[in-house]
Structure 1
Amino acid sequence: MKEIIAVIRMNKVSATKRALVDVGIAGFTAFKVMGRGRLVDDLAVIEERRKTLLSMSDSKGNEQVEKMVVQFLDGTRLFPRRLFTILAHDEDVDKIVAAIISVNRTDYKVGDGKIFVLPVLDAIRVRTGESGEAGV
């Protein structure tokens, strides 16, 4: 048994849920979380996003937007994300990971998320007391 933890963009939640159901995984849990990944060393990668944010600041004259741009670039801002946890049989891990990647990969070159696969020692179904594979 494995636990798959996926951290994805908020705007990819519905597509991720559909992809999981399409590959036969109906049981999962999702949490709203805040976080950020590595800082981008090559500013050319995020230049378009930076310009968009700065144009919002120019059009509104809003100091709050300017602060957000600075925090976006210097790494102090946390971003809303969704964290999915999925308990899976070992043989299902590859298709689940592939489904998550297929709907979450973007052309932004940054911020598409992370997937972690961890071993699970045991699972117990509360209603029946079944454990192990039967508990899943």
Structure 2
Amino acid sequence: MKEIIAVVRMNKVSTTKKALIEVGAAGFTASKVMGRGKLVEDKSVIAERRKTLLALAQKDDQVTEKMITEFLDGTRLFPRRLFNVLAHDEDVPKIIAAIIKANQTEYKVGDGKIFVLPTLDAVRVRTQESGDAAI
């Protein structure tokens, strides 16, 4: 039994939920979180992303520019969604593949992170079943 923790973009929440349901994940929870990932060191990727974000903002003001700069230099935390999925060991690869497919973008930065942890036990409150039966 494993716990899969996935940190995804806020605009990918619906896509991720659909992907988890389609792949047969037994259940999951989602929480709003704030964070940031590893900074991209390739200056050309950062410059291209900055240009794209400024164009999307459709505002030419210092507040927007400051927010985009802080996003790209890592000083600002941004909203993300944290999914927790309990899964049988044999289901882990297909769940991970579904999360990746739902969240991978062409941006080359900020697509998320997936962690897989061993889970010692689970208990279903309603029936008191434990272990794999509780999933």
**Which runs of 5 or more residues in structure 2 are unaligned?**
none
1:23 lines up with 2:23 in the alignment: yes
Q: Which amino acid aligns with 1:105?
A: Q
> 1:33-65: per-residue Cα shift (whole Å, max 9, x none)?
1100111111211222212444578x7452211
Greater Cα radius of gyration, structure 1 or 2: 1
* CA RMSD in angstroms, aligned pairs only: 1.7
**Equivalent residue, structure 1, for 2:44:** 44
Q: Which amino acid aligns with 1:124?
A: V
- CA distance in 2 between partners of 1:109 and 1:4 (Å): 23
- CA distance in 1 between partners of 2:50 and 2:7 (Å): 23
- CA distance in 1 between partners of 2:29 and 2:79 (Å): 17
> 1:45-93: per-residue Cα shift (whole Å, max 9, x none)?
1222212444578x74522113213312321011111110000000100
**Equivalent residue, structure 2, for 1:98:** 97
- CA distance in 1 between partners of 2:107 and 2:10 (Å): 15
For residue 26 of structure 1, report the CA deviation from its aligned partner.
4.5
**Which runs of 5 or more residues in structure 1 are unaligned?**
none
State, as a whole percentage, how many aligned pairs show the same letter: 72
> 5 Å matches for 1:30-109?
30-54=30-54, 60-109=59-108
Which moved further from structure 2: 45-54 or 104-113?
45-54
Where 1:31 maps in the other structure, the secondary structure is strand
Q: TM-score, normalised by structure 1?
A: 0.90
Equivalences, count: 135
Q: TM-score, normalised by structure 2?
A: 0.91
- CA distance in 2 between partners of 1:127 and 1:90 (Å): 23
Relative to structure 1, the CA distance from residue 61 to residue 12 in structure 2 (aligned partners, 3 Å threshold; closer, same or farther) is closer
- CA distance in 1 between partners of 2:53 and 2:133 (Å): 50
What stretches of structure 1 move > 6 A for 4+ residues in a row? none
Which moved further from structure 2: 103-112 or 46-55?
46-55
Question: 8 Å contact 1:53–1:65 — kept in the other structure?
Answer: no
> 1:84-125: per-residue Cα shift (whole Å, max 9, x none)?
000000010000000001111111111110000000000001
- CA distance in 2 between partners of 1:111 and 1:60 (Å): 22
Which moved further from structure 2: 66-75 or 92-101?
66-75
